[in-house]
Structure 1
Amino acid sequence: MLALLIVLMPLGATAAEVPDDPLDSSQWRYMARKYFRDASIVFDERVKVIAPDYAEDSLNTPVQVSAPDLEGVEQVLVFADMSPITKVLDYYPVKADPAIGFSFKVQQATPIRAAMRTADGTWHIGGTWVDAQGGGCTAPSVASADPIWETRLGETEARLWSRDSGGDRLKFRVVHPMDTGLAAGIPEFFITEVTITDDSGETLARLEPYEPVSENPVITLDLDARGPLTLAGRDNNGNRFEATVAEPAS
């Protein structure tokens, strides 16, 4: 008679080992189960996350993510362990460097992390702690108190700079309240997708921001291509915006 062996694993256990957290966050193992499941995870010093030690403005805390020496990056996931909405953005650098600059809302002291998925399916993770007074995600946007903001919704400004290493640097700003839905009486209202294409229509990069990205977001990307470019996006209410960006001045 053959014996049937049943192995019971704890709820939430994964096939891949979860490495110890160099930032010593109490939420790390929950984040690992939530976002990476049984994928391979490594903490990688090549993944740089630069942010202030203390968020002077909890509604607008700058972050710069990059990994110039990490090849084959297909997705960049940015998340904040202690935020009420942990996922900050997803970035797909199709023909771009794995680098992005932006600002986000900080509710309380938290690690802010960047996880970069390479072609082999491994997530390479870097991060840093940001201390904060609190209230970034639960505070209403400035736009919500301004009756004229609707006339400018989706208004987009963008500019390109030539990079010495090749390609262009793109910096753009979109007028949008980016409401989290956590302020009393104000529903969630945020940009869900931005796509950058070249003059032939080929996608260079795609960005999926989430509620914690700051109001009127300003985003910086390093593209492996030259302008002119088209920037197009939409929000969770179906509003769309589009802008054409000319080549940078010589």
Structure 2
Amino acid sequence: MVFPGLLFLLLINIGSAQENNADNAKDPLDSFMWDLYRNRFLSDAPVHFDSRVRITAPEFAEDSGQVPVEIDASHLNDQFDKMLLWVELNPIPMVFEYSPGTHGLAKVGLNIRLEQGSPVRVAVLSQGAWYVGSTFIDGAGGGCSTPGIANSGKNWSKDFGQVRARRFPADNGSRLRFLIMHPMESGLLPSEIPFYIEELTINSGGESVADMKWHASISENPVLTIEMKGDKGTTYKLRARDNNANVLESEI
């Protein structure tokens, strides 16, 4: 027998759970592009908007060609299968696809291009479901379709292909930072052809321990910050390849 008061409380709890599930699936930015990119990038897997997937970025991008974005999904789960970052209103929306392998942790930073004010999404695949973090970055625009500020006076014959690397201690391993001298041209300007890094691998002990696929929404001279499980005694080697088969390498 169920008492009336108990039944009332049970109905409230069921209603609250249903409401929470509905809120969990509702786009917090209410973007008209969300459904398009959900279907394109996330397929049929369950999707949850989750505040534990955090994006740190400026509210307004003064230089739309160089917008720093930091992702921290470590409060969700460092044991994840894939991470995606995209900018909904960019002409090339996908920024990167990250497979953490055996060493990658859920903390990544990169400078990106912003064509106009846009929702920015990061999706983390863990245990068969996508967990999504969102933010909105406003800006003067043109980051994808106009020459970047950094491009003025650049001597590519001297600087192209240089990689500068630094290492910092982190809570669960090491934070690696790489500055890669590359124009990262999208091909959207009439005077240029696509010329950008499209594959980046981090190796340790002769084996790949994490890898990324890059797209042309990443800024010129990209600065990648990425956390790895290995401590200061672990040697890492970065290997990047662009779409013209140039290989750029650095060891740290």
TM-score range, shorter chain: 0.7 to 0.9
C-alpha offsets along residues 25-78 of structure 1, whole Å, 9 cap, x if unaligned? Answer: 111111111111212111111100111111111000110001112222111100
Specify every segment of 5 or more residues in structure 1 that has no aligned partner in the other structure, as ranges: 1-16, 246-250
Q: Cα distance, 1:243 vs. partner?
A: 1.1
1:189 shift after superposition: 0.8
Shift of 1:244: 1.3
CA root-mean-square deviation: 1.8
- Measure how far apart 1:228 and its partner are: 1.9
- Aligned position for 1:133: 140
Q: How far apart are 1:143 and its partner, in Å?
A: 7.3
Residue 206, structure 1, aligned to residue 211, structure 2? yes
Change (3 A) 1:79 1:235: same
Q: How has the CA–CA distance of structure 1 residues 56 and 147 changed in structure 2, closer, same or farther, with 3 Å as cutoff?
A: closer
Q: Secondary structure at the match of 1:31?
A: helix
Would you say 1:237 and 2:251 are equivalent positions?
no
What is the alpha-carbon distance in structure 2 between the residues aligned to residue 174 and residue 145 of structure 1?
17
CA distance in 2, matches of 1:98, 1:32: 21
Q: How many residues align?
A: 226
Partner of 2:66: 60
Per-residue CA distance 1:83-118 (angstroms, 9 max, x = gap): 111101111222121110111011001011100011
AA paired with 1:104?
Answer: I
When you count helix as a share of all residues, which structure comes out higher?
Answer: 2
Whether contact under 8 Å (1:204, 1:223) holds in the other structure is no
TM (normalized to structure 2)?
0.84
Q: Does 1:159 align with 2:166?
A: yes
After TM superposition, the structure 1 = structure 2 runs for residues 80-91 of structure 1, keeping only pairs within 5 Å, are 80-91=87-98
Report whether the alignment pairs 1:179 with 2:185.
yes
Q: Cα offset for 1:240?
A: 0.5
Check whether the contact 1:78–1:89 (CA below 8 A) recurs between aligned residues: yes
Partner of 1:241: helix, strand, or coil? strand
- Does the Cα contact within 8 Å between 1:141 and 1:178 map onto a contact in 2? no
Contact 1:156–1:173, Cα closer than 8 Å, also in 2: yes
Is the Cα contact below 8 Å between 1:156 and 1:174 reproduced in 2? yes
TM-score in terms of structure 1 length:
0.85
1:127 maps to a residue whose letter is: S
Name the SS of the counterpart of 2:25 in structure 1: coil
C-alpha separation in 1, matches of 2:123 and 2:40: 13
Q: 1:229 to 1:27 in 2, by over 3 A?
A: same
Name the stretch that deviates more: 58-67 or 135-144. Answer: 135-144
Please give the alpha-carbon distance, in whole angstroms, between the structure 1 residues aligned to 2:153 and 2:211: 30
Match of 1:217 among 203, 222, 229: 222
The 1-side partners of 2:162 and 2:42 are apart by 35
How far, CA to CA, are the matches of 2:226 and 2:154 in structure 1? Answer: 32
Q: Contact 2:112/2:217 (CA < 8 Å) preserved in 1?
A: yes
| Pair 1:28 & 2:34 matched | yes
Matched position secondary structure for 2:41 = helix
Rounded to whole Å, the distance in 1 between the matches of 2:154 and 2:61 is 28
* Long gaps (5+) in structure 2: 1-21
CA shift, 1:234, in A, is 0.4
Q: Pick the structure with greater CA Rg.
A: 2
Alignment partner of 1:76 is 2:83: yes
Q: Which residue of 1 aligns with 2:107?
A: 99
3-state secondary structure, aligned to 1:29: helix
Seen in structure 2, the aligned counterparts of structure 1 residues 82 and 121 have a Cα distance that, compared at 3 Å, is: same
| Amino acid paired to 1:103 | N
The percent identity for this pair of structures is 35
Once superposed, which parts of structure 1, at least 4 consecutive aligned residues long, lie more than 6 Å away?
A: none
